[in-house]
Chain A
Amino acid sequence: MVDLIKKNAKSLQESLFSSVGSAALTIATTYLVINFFRGMLGFALTSDKDWLAVLNNMQLYMVQAYPEEDFIRVWLSVGLTFVLAGLSIGIWRSDDRVKSSQVFNSFFKGGLGVLFFTIIAPTNSSFMGNDGSVITEEVFSMETRLGILIPVAIFCVIFFSIRFININFTVNSSDMVFFYLFIPVALLWFIKLPTIQLDQNNERIIPDPVMPIADTTKIPWTVIFVSFLASYFIGMYLKNIKSIKSIMSLSWFLLPLLIFSWIFKKPQIDMSVVLGSDLPIFGAFLLWGFLVITFVNNSIFKKYYSTYLGLTFLLTLVGVFSGLPMLAKTCLLLIALFSVVVPAVSTSSQGKRSLLIVWAVALVTLTFLLRGGASDTGIVVPGSSIFGGFSLTWLLAIFGTYVSFPLGVLLALGRNSKLPIIRIVCTGIIELTRSVPYITWLFFASVTLAVFLPAGVEFNLIVRVLMVTAFFSGAYFAENIRGGLQSIPKGQYEAADAIGMSPFQKISLIIMPQALRAVIPTLVSSAITAFKDSSLVTIIGLFDFLTIGKTVIGNQSIPVNFVGHDRENLIFVAIVYWIFTFTLSRRSMKVEKKLGLGER
């Protein structure tokens, strides 16, 4: 014990007080930091702040005006994300084990943090009233301080001294995630929070009564946590299935699309149309695909395969311009493309089986999407778009990336192309787009873009914003990817040429995988920037997460008065953005390390 203190003291002295200058710097910085935290705590605790402005508006923050009877869709979306996360954690379960001492140490450190803030918290804090006078009030009484200090100190001492008793066990690091998540979910059932209640005159009761958390919050979260845990075990069980990892990656890619359509539409499906027209078409094309797969190796069919292909394409061409139902047209197009692929893939019986599964899944999805897309939505949002609050921010960030990334790849290839005209055009697009700030492009989307569209064509503002974002983020992605392309040695191109690859094969199989891998960190940081930039739509009047905090809540005046409580809301908004971007950047650093980038 004494040795430990001695050792620590020595390293402390070396790092903090090695010279007079260093000591002065240490003291000055410590003073600044402590005063900063004191100021922040004092700021948060004075009576002119109303934190219920944040707490009371969680629903608004998340989904804005989404109708309450359809909330089950939102909960299911969140649940689905967690289930997929649980499965992924189970499948990619690491074998790293955390020692008990490390766990206790982290508890000890957490306790120390709480102790630090309890000790430095100011007793009195002051703010300026409306008449310019300074009001000072007690915000943190001695009883409260001691009430927190003593239990936390005991907690710290316990976890500090546990280190000297020999308890040695290890925990899987993935399991710890669930332990840390269990704590807030369990707390939901025990803690009580001040809640806004109105009396008979429809006025707010002051002080706010302390009440347990509503069932509509804690039950869904508990269910989600349980299914998260269950999917984790299922994931561990599924771990050894071949190609499960690529299926998971694909589902992560498709999940936002599913959630989008799920939240956007509650299809009012007309069953007579489904039975009368959709099902027969579905059955016919399923049979068609089945026949093609079955007989593809038949020698006679093989002989006339090109004739069959030609006929199919002709039929498709005729069909697309005829009065067939939309589903039939799309299926024709799909079967034509499918027929091209089949002979290349289905050689073994196993290949045939998986092809059949793919075909069936594709047909089901197509039928479902087309019927769902064509029918009316049952979700009615009065006066604004279905997406608002965090769901809009999420939509803009994810779909912005989805549409801009492919465009970025194309622009980067164009700029690196040997064809001068294409190169000049792509360079022009990239440079013009990048030279102007994002906000001017948003104004372009909201005001000018409509001028260029043919008469009668109109897009929703969100769609226009996505169109502009595709180009703007696309140009930035293109520049990043170009950096990756330039890092590929010339030998790679020449080697691909030497084994007779076509330009398309060369780019997609040799160059792009290497180029993209080299620039993963910058791509992630670009995606983070795109996420942060999505907050700019506030300025053109979309109701995203920031707008809710900045404008909508600031305008709530009856029966609760939240006017002038911008700072609390902005701090909350900042914290939420921070959590997402910080987690993302930390994850990308880990991936970077795993891939060994920068060590080549």
Chain B
Amino acid sequence: MKNALKTLSFFRNVVFLKWASQIVFLVGLLYIIWSYIQNAVVNLEQTNIAFSWGWLGETPGVSIAEGMYTLPNSGRQMIQVGMLNMLRVTVTGIFAATFLGTFLGIARLSKNYIVEKTSTGLLEVVRNVPLLVQIFFFQAFVLTFPRLEVFDVGTYNLHVSAKGIAFPWFNRQPTAYLFWVYLIAILILANKIYKWRVQILEREGRETRPFLWSFGIFFGLLVAGWYGGYRVMGVIGFLAGYISTGVDLLPAIFYQILFSSIAVFIGYRSTKKFIDSKKSEEAQGIYSDDDYFKIILNVIVVLLVVVLMFSSVGLGLSNFLVGDELVFKADWGVPQFFDGVNNKLYWNPEAKIVLDAQLDGMKRADIIDWIAVPGTEVTKGDVIARATAKDLKGDLNQEISIYAKYTGVIEEVFVSKGDTVKINEKTYDIRVTDSKPLELSRPRIEQIGTTKFKKYADGFGKSLSVGYFAIWLGVVLYTAIFISEVVRAGIMAVSKGQSEAGLSLGLGRGALLRLIVLPQAIRVMLPPMGNQYLNLAKNTSLGIAVAYPEIVAVGQTLYNQEGQTLPVFLIWMAFYSTVSLTISTIINYYNRKMKIVER
């Protein structure tokens, strides 16, 4: 080989040609990209909209129809609202679509003629019509109902109007987060107990009633939790407070060094592993040029990460992590995150009061009378204070009421008599104890201030806006249909012998499906199921067509406002990539877990 290489002229050497052509290709590609970027720079200069991220910190001055903040104070917060709205559809949609899809998939395999034909018919209709048409149809369906203004103020069970759909719902109290964490904890505990009892059963062969045990303990803890026991989880919030203080003290350079060393370590370990694998008997320590390329690439990537970490990008990231107030104004850093955890998961979390004042021109209110002093029990909707609203000039204008947004016993109040509060921010903190985590309430129609317009009251029942309803239903139905195909194919992939073997052991139909067929079908189903989840996440972007403010719609509003199309596009790309990566990581994790353990 060596001799052959010597005698060949270099331009007939395969290795040379291979690398030369690739490098030429790469250089050509980079040149093209560079020239396009040059174009962009020149064009942007001419239009006086230079590429910048400054708008993230500026107040966009537009309102969002629904979401965490309807009047965001910065571009960053606006993007945040869009992301959360998108995730709201995606996460709930994934669960609903999986449930519905599994149901339909099993129905399609039913021996019952009518059930099978009905589900097949539904499949053929939904699958062959563009999703956008379906979403538009659901929107048009709701929009043709009368306007909300023609209905009377009051409480309803189920209500549909051109403004959306409202129905009774369990509304979150401030302690709900604590309760969710508690619920997850006891679910894990119940699972562990089940496994432990099964272990004993397998070891000793006596009846240990694993299901009864785990369910009994779960139920007992659930009841105990509902009546106050969930507060033990407050310890998380307690600890998070200390972590937040601790993290706050770290300087930005710490993260830069930390990430650089992690990159160097990972690069070193993977390279070493690669070299070690080449030392095995089959490889005999021979390196092909591809192998050299891999090693060089590893080094380049590590160097790139280190350089990036100490450039402005890395500094930005570190500032983000330490929660630098100058760069990222509000609550986006790590300490702020832990602060949030501390707030939400403390044993008596902060609750909110609501100013009933969306009056035109009114900016501030002076609280003239506190009705609910600490110690009083309030129900949601109770008047707890009265205030006078002022307009910009400071003229007294109107007396307004302040309502409690949650039920409970007031422990501490952060706004007192005589304080001035901003009306735009709408909610103010009080601290409540002794509230149930969830509360069932019915939807209510109320007047907006003194105007003739009406709305569904916040925190009473659940009201879905037209956009949310249309995009959610459209995406769920569409994905469920594709999932039903996946489920059907998965079940059919399990060989008939397996079911027959199960039946001959004397298993019932339910047990057969649960113990024999589904565990094997899930292995086949998981990868395509993951694809469907990714499609669902991407399809939520159609919300823009029905005015649902998810990330794409919000981004569009932003670049119409600021003219910064490129940064918005980069944000879209980064966000969707992150979501896709997260979903596929979760699916891959389950896939690995479900894999057949081969001997």
Q: Which residues of A contact B (CB under 8 A)?
A: 12, 15-16, 18, 22, 25-26, 29-30, 32-33, 128-132, 418-422, 425, 432, 435-440, 443-444, 447-448, 450-455, 532-533, 535-536, 538-539, 546, 550, 564, 566-567, 570-571, 573-574, 577-578, 581-582, 585
Interface pair A29/B541, CB less than 8 Å apart: no
User: Of B43, B128, B545, which is within 8 A of A585 by CB?
Assistant: B128
Known: A128-B146, A436-B576. A571 touches B137 (CB 8 A): yes
Q: Is the CB of B130 within 8 A of A582?
A: no
With beta carbons under 8 angstroms apart, the residue of A30, A432, A443 that contacts B552 is A443
Residues of A within 8 A of B43 (CB): 450-453, 455
Shortest CB distance A357–B (Å)? 39
* Majority-rule SS of A interface residues: helix
Whether B569 pairs with A439 at a CB distance below 8 angstroms is no
Inter-chain contacts of A567 with B (CB < 8 A) = 137, 140-141, 144
Q: Is B16 an interface residue (CB 8 A)?
A: no
Contacts of A570 on B, CB cut-off 8 Å?
133, 136-137, 140
Chain B nearest CB: distance from A425 CB in Å? 6
Q: Interface residues, chain B, CB within 8 Å of chain A?
A: 18, 21-23, 25-26, 29, 36-37, 39-40, 42-44, 46, 110-115, 118, 124-125, 127-134, 136-137, 140-141, 143-147, 150-151, 290, 293-294, 297, 538-539, 541-542, 544-545, 552, 556, 559, 565-566, 569, 572-573, 576-577, 580
* A127 closest partner in B (C-beta): B144
**Judging by beta carbons under 8 Å apart, are A420 and B29 in contact?**
no
Contact B569 A440 (CB under 8 A): yes
Q: Chain A residues near B133 (CB, 8 Å)?
A: 535, 546, 570, 573-574, 577
Knowing A131-B146, A436-B572, say if A539 contacts B141 (CB, 8 Å): no
Bound Cα distance A132, B159 (Å): 11
Contacts of B46 in A (CB 8 A): 455
Given contacts A567-B144, A582-B128, contact A451 B137 (CB under 8 A): no
Residues of A contacting B42 with CB < 8 Å? Answer: 455
CB-defined A-B contacts under 8 Å, sample of 16: A16-B114, A29-B115, A132-B151, A421-B22, A425-B26, A439-B542, A448-B566, A451-B39, A452-B36, A452-B37, A452-B39, A455-B46, A532-B129, A532-B130, A533-B130, A582-B124
Q: Closest CB of chain A to B158's CB: distance in Å?
A: 14
> Given A421-B25, A455-B42, 20 other A-B contacts at CB below 8 A?
A12-B113, A18-B112, A30-B114, A419-B18, A425-B26, A435-B577, A436-B572, A437-B539, A452-B36, A452-B40, A455-B39, A536-B542, A546-B130, A546-B136, A567-B137, A567-B141, A577-B130, A577-B133, A578-B125, A582-B128
For the complex, give the distance between the alpha carbons of A451 and B50 in Å: 11
A26-B114, A581-B128 known; A128+B136 contact, CB < 8 A: no
Partner of A439, one of B128, B143, B541: B541
Check B565–A451 contact: CB distance below 8 A: yes
Contact yes or no, B130 A440, CB < 8 A: no
Contact indicator B566/A435 (Cβ below 8 Å): no
Chain A residues contacting B556 (CB-CB under 8 Å) are 443
CA A566 to CA B143, docked complex, whole Å = 10
- In angstroms, Cα B18 to Cα A29, docked, is 64
Q: A421's closest neighbor in chain B, by CB? A: B22
Query: Would you list the 10 A-B pairs with minimal beta carbon distance, nearest first?
Result: A437-B538, A566-B140, A437-B541, A532-B130, A581-B128, A421-B22, A132-B150, A535-B130, A15-B113, A435-B577
Whether B572 pairs with A578 at a CB distance below 8 angstroms is no
Whether the Cβ atoms of B565 and A29 lie closer than 8 Å is: no
- CB-based nearest B residue for A417: B22
The reply to whether A447 and B559 form a contact with Cβ atoms under 8 Å apart is: yes
Cross-chain contact B128 with A422 (CB below 8 angstroms): no
State A30–B118 Cα separation when bound (angstroms).
9
Report which residue of B110, B128, B141, B577 has the largest number of chain A beta carbons within 10 angstroms of its beta carbon. Answer: B128
Residues in chain B near residue A546, CB distance under 8 A: 130, 132-133, 136
**How many Å from the CB of B301 to the closest CB on chain A?**
11
Query: Do A25 and B115 touch across chains, with their CB atoms under 8 A apart?
Result: yes
Separation of A581 and B133 alpha carbons in the complex (Å) = 14
CB distance from A126 to the nearest CB of B (A): 13
A29-B118 in contact (CB<8A)? yes
Whole-angstrom distance between the alpha carbons of A453 and B35 in the complex? 9
**Cross-chain contact of B146 among A132, A422, A532 (Cβ < 8 A):** A132
Least distance between A322 CB and chain B CB atoms (Å): 28
Neighbouring A residues of B125 by C-beta, 8 Å: 578
| A452, closest chain B residue (CB) | B36
The answer to whether A436 touches B565, judged by C-beta atoms less than 8 angstroms apart, is no
Complex Cα gap A139–B122 (Å): 26
- Whether A130 and B132, one on each chain, are in contact in the complex, defined by CB atoms closer than 8 angstroms, is no
**How many whole Å from B295's CB to the nearest CB in chain A?**
12
Q: Which chain A residues border B552 with CB–CB below 8 Å?
A: 437, 439-440, 443
Most central of B147, B293, B297, B569 by chain A CB within 10 Å: B569
Given the interface pairs A131-B146, A532-B130, the reply to whether A439 lies near B544 with Cβ below 8 Å is yes
Q: How far does the Cβ of B189 sit from chain A's closest Cβ, in whole Å?
A: 35
Instruction: Please name all residues of chain A whose beta carbon is closer than 8 Å to the beta carbon of B115 when the two chains form the complex.
Output: 25-26, 29
Which chain A residues border B137 with CB–CB below 8 Å? 567, 570-571, 574
Q: Are A539 and B569 in contact (CB under 8 A)?
A: no
**B128 contacts which chain A residues (CB < 8 A)?**
577-578, 581-582, 585
Q: Determine the residue in chain B with the shortest Cβ distance to A454.
A: B39
Contact of A440 with B114 at beta-carbon distance under 8 Å, contacts A451-B43, A578-B128 already known: no
User: In the complex the two chains form, what is the Cα distance from A212 to B488 in whole Å?
Assistant: 49
With the chains together, A436 CA to B538 CA distance in Å? 7
Contacts of B147 in A (CB 8 A): 130
Nearest CB of A to B308, in Å: 17
Assess whether A577 is in contact with B129, with CB atoms less than 8 Å apart: yes
Q: How far is the CB of B112 from chain A (nearest CB, A)?
A: 5
Of B114, B130, B297, most buried by chain A (CB within 10 Å of CB) is B130
How far does the Cβ of A184 sit from chain B's closest Cβ, in whole Å?
21
Cβ of B25: which chain A residues have Cβ within 8 Å of it?
421-422, 425
Q: Identify the closest chain A residue to B559 (Cβ).
A: A447
Residues of B within 8 A of A448 (CB): 565-566, 569
Contact between A435 and B573 (Cβ–Cβ < 8 Å)? yes
User: What is the distance, in angstroms, from A407's C-beta to the closest C-beta of chain B?
Assistant: 15
List, in ascending order, chain B residues with CB within 8 A of A419's CB. 18, 21-22
Cβ-defined contact, A440 with B576, below 8 A: yes
- In the complex formed, the residue of B with least CB distance to A15 is B113
Q: Which residue of B lies closest to A554 (CB)?
A: B140
Query: Which residue of B23, B29, B129, B580 is within 8 Å of A574 (Cβ)?
Result: B129
CB distance from B214 to the nearest CB of A (A): 28
Provide the residues of chain B in CB contact with A425, threshold 8 Å.
25-26, 29
Cross-chain contact A566 with B114 (CB below 8 angstroms): no
A437 to B125, CA, bound (A): 23
Within the complex, what minimum Cβ distance (angstroms) separates B101 from chain A?
Answer: 18
| B40 & A18 in contact (Cβ 8 Å cutoff) | no
Chain A nearest CB from B210 CB (Å) reads 28
Give B105 Cβ to nearest chain A Cβ, in Å.
15
Inter-subunit contact A564/B131 (CB<8 Å): no
Which residues of A sit under 8 angstroms from B565, Cβ to Cβ?
447-448, 451
Whether A453 lies near B541 (C-beta < 8 A) is no
Chain A nearest CB, measured from B107 CB (Å): 9
> Which of B23, B545, B559 is close to A538, meaning CB atoms less than 8 Å apart?
B545
Q: Are B129 and A538 in contact (CB under 8 A)?
A: no
Contact B146 A129 (CB under 8 A): yes
Which of A132, A450, A564: most chain B CB closer than 10 A? Answer: A132
Which residues of A lie under 8 Å from residue B118 when comparing CB positions?
A: 29, 32-33
Name the residue of chain B whose CB is nearest to the CB of A564.
Answer: B144
Interface centre among A439, A564, A574 (most CB of B within 10 A): A439
